Amino acid sequence: MSVVKTLGQFIIEKQADFPYAKGELSRLLRDIGIAAKIVNREVNKAGLVDILGDAGTINIQGEGQKKLDVYANEQFISALRSGGECCVVASEEHDDCIYIESEISKNAKYIVAIDPLDGSSNIDVNVAIGTIFSIYRRQSTNGKALISDVLQKGSRQVAAGYIIYGSSTMLVYTTGKGVNGFTLDPSIGEFCLSHPNMTIPKEGHIYSINEGNYVHFPQGVKDYIKYCQEEDVATKRPYTSRYIGSMVADIHRNLIKGGIFLYPVSAAYPKGKLRLVYECNPMAFILEQAGGGATDGFNRILDLTPLKLHQRSAIFLGSELMVLKLMDCLNQTNKEKKQVS
């Protein structure tokens, strides 16, 4: 009979990998896990209580906030505020950073960026949604933390993860030493290690993109989609198109089965739609640690320096060979444009 290892036990065991942390990072991850269990409880009974539907407010992105969005945001911020290991929280639901200036937090070492409820447009139709988070070490040393502490390159993340609320609830995270997944056992109320050392297949056969916007995509992306749809026995094409509309759900499936997730620029979003700080950086960190790749079409996502809190970006991430093929298509298009000009 296998021994069950909980998230708490796993984090403590791995604490030795971060001698500089002195336990703060472990406690911070634990706090996020606790808040995730509270949000999961409400997600699972959302149809039974007055928590579905619009909250009547608009977030910084100009998007209507769902009631469950607001609830999740409050729970994660409360957990991070009371834990004492975090001095700043950057939430997708807030215009500005939330500075935690309590006595126990004002000198804390860590910054947390979080998308409390990704895919919230799917709440009312009972489709998998999730939470995305990333953790950075504070760079400033004196006084109040600075905005530059938040606007760090993704390569400086010390941890990142997501929670997916689906047929089962899973927490997947990395601290830069591989990726591990934990499934919530509702009978004991604990996340238990279920997917150790997660790796994404080098080649996949799933592509995930909202093809309804096809006419607005860059030519290189159109060429890649055509490649995915062509028949070729040697490469097992055509590939399967799978798009849920929840970044966490789409990437979780592709991480396990192999595939690529594409969210290019478009006429409506000339700089991309997904947020670099809250969505792109943490997911890119996870996928790279699992053996995959992540790019904005020109640069490695983790090498981009955010210039503002809610900066948007194009993103393509997934199985290594699929990302490389996409880059070939994009580079070929750019080369042809230069020849014409």
| pTM of the model as a whole | 0.92
DSSP-based helix, strand, coil % in the chain, nearest 5: 40, 25, 35
Write out pLDDT tens, residues 328-339.
Answer: 999 988 777 666
Beta partners for 169?
A: 165
Cα distances from 11 to residues 15, 183, 249, in angstroms, run 6, 15, 24
Parallel, antiparallel or unpaired: strands 274-275 and 312-313? antiparallel
- 142-146, 215-219, 256-260, 322-326: segment of lowest average pLDDT: 142-146
> Which pLDDT band, with edges at 50, 70 and 90, does 64 fall under?
low
Residues 260/318, Cβ–Cβ less than 8 Å? yes
pLDDT at res. 49? 65
For domain 7-195, give its CATH number from 3.40.50.460, 3.40.50.300, 3.40.50.720, 3.30.540.10: 3.30.540.10
Cα distances from 214 to residues 47, 49, 217, 221, 241, in angstroms, run 34, 38, 5, 9, 13
Q: Could you tell me which CATH number the domain at 206-340 has?
A: 3.40.190.80
Q: Where are the domains of the chain?
A: 7-195, 206-340
Give the Cβ contact number of residue 322 at 10 Å.
30
pLDDT at res. 16? 72
Write out pLDDT tens, residues 7-38.
Answer: 989 988 887 776 665 678 888 999 999 999 99
- Check residues 138 and 66 and name the one with the higher pLDDT: 138
Residue 184 has pLDDT above 90, yes or no: yes
Write out pLDDT tens, residues 252-296.
Answer: 999 999 999 999 998 888 999 999 999 999 999 999 999 999 999
Q: What is the mean pLDDT of the chain?
A: 90
> Residue 221 corresponds to which amino acid?
V
